Chains A and B, each alone.
Chain A
Amino acid sequence: MEVPILRQGQYLIASIQSALTDADLSHLREALIAQVGRSRCRGVIVDVTALDVMDSFAVRTLRDIAHMARLRGAETVIVGIQPDVAFAMVQLGLTLKGVATVLDLEEGLAFLNRRDEERLLETRPKRFGDRG
């Protein structure tokens, strides 16, 4: 089952529709990284709302996606981790360290917009007299 990747403005949105095999997950990782470069996007949202199991391979793949996308200049945010899935992840000792996670798609978009603004502020050259 392939994961559709939609483009919305500067962002790519991958919404997982159903349980995925390892091969599907690996394919998603390759497809996202390729598209990040091709479309010069600034952000990636991976919507995992439909996933009712996340094991160590899934967590590692999501972490890889985020780290690889960052190296290609895009920020990643994972949205929609279900409460039961979060519970099982904690029990398993699996973490998404260094990867942004928010509740839903709307917050994901808001997060990326905020990051973009911050980036603009960071890269704007400081003028004499600017505070901070």
Chain B
Amino acid sequence: MAGFSSGEQTVIAAAISEIARNILMYAKQGEVFLSLATNGDRQGVVVVAKDQGPGIADLERAMQYGYSTSHGVGAGLPGAKRLMDEFEVDTVVGQGTTITMKKWRRVI
């Protein structure tokens, strides 16, 4: 995938899995878009996960390891952030959540 090593692909897949899992769990439905991007000498994969669910009321806490409103592990959001290079959450209570995350690799 886009020249990523199998190790990097595992990392990206794990992050996508956590974010997709959250959509199913908290918003019931949504969409995950994958695309490729270039930035100077870097190439990357962009993941956009979008739902029209309840939104995240306390984003600061939701980003902390161990915080879960569903007796979960609370590892999904902070873990996905650690696995990826860029991680952005756009959420509005009652309207939904969009998470954009990117992973870059240098093209030599």
Cβ contacts under 8 Å, A87 to chain B: 7, 10-11
Minimum CB–CB distance from A76 to chain B (whole Å) comes to 19
State in angstroms the CA–CA spacing of A82 and B14 once bound together: 13
Q: Is the CB of A93 within 8 A of B83?
A: no
CB contact between B18 and one of A52, A83, A92 (< 8 Å): that residue: A92
Q: Is the CB of A55 within 8 A of B18?
A: yes
State in angstroms the CA–CA spacing of A59 and B65 once bound together: 16
State in angstroms the CA–CA spacing of A59 and B17 once bound together: 13
Q: Which of B69-77, B85-93, B96-104 touches A?
A: B69-77
Residue of A nearest to B76 (CB): A56
Cβ contacts under 8 Å, B21 to chain A: 55-57
Q: Is the CB of B13 within 8 A of A92?
A: no
Cβ contacts under 8 Å, A52 to chain B: 6, 9-10, 13
Q: Is the CB of A93 within 8 A of B79?
A: yes
Minimum CB–CB distance from A62 to chain B (whole Å) comes to 13
State in angstroms the CA–CA spacing of A54 and B13 once bound together: 9
Cβ contacts under 8 Å, A56 to chain B: 18, 21, 72-73, 75-76, 79
| Known interface pairs A84-B6, A91-B83; A53-B14 also in contact (CB < 8 Å) | yes
Cβ contacts under 8 Å, B17 to chain A: 53, 55
State in angstroms the CA–CA spacing of A57 and B73 once bound together: 9
Minimum CB–CB distance from B51 to chain A (whole Å) comes to 18
Cβ contacts under 8 Å, B10 to chain A: 52-53, 82, 84-85, 87-88
Does chain B have a CB within 8 A of A115?
no
Q: Which of B11, B14, B18, B78 has the most CB of A within 10 A?
A: B14
Does chain B have a CB within 8 A of A68?
no
CB contact between B14 and one of A60, A83, A92 (< 8 Å): that residue: A92
Does chain A have a CB within 8 A of B28?
no
CB contact between B11 and one of A57, A60, A82, A84 (< 8 Å): that residue: A84
Cβ contacts under 8 Å, A55 to chain B: 14, 17-18, 21
**5 closest Cβ pairs, A-B complex:** A92-B79, A55-B17, A84-B10, A84-B7, A88-B14
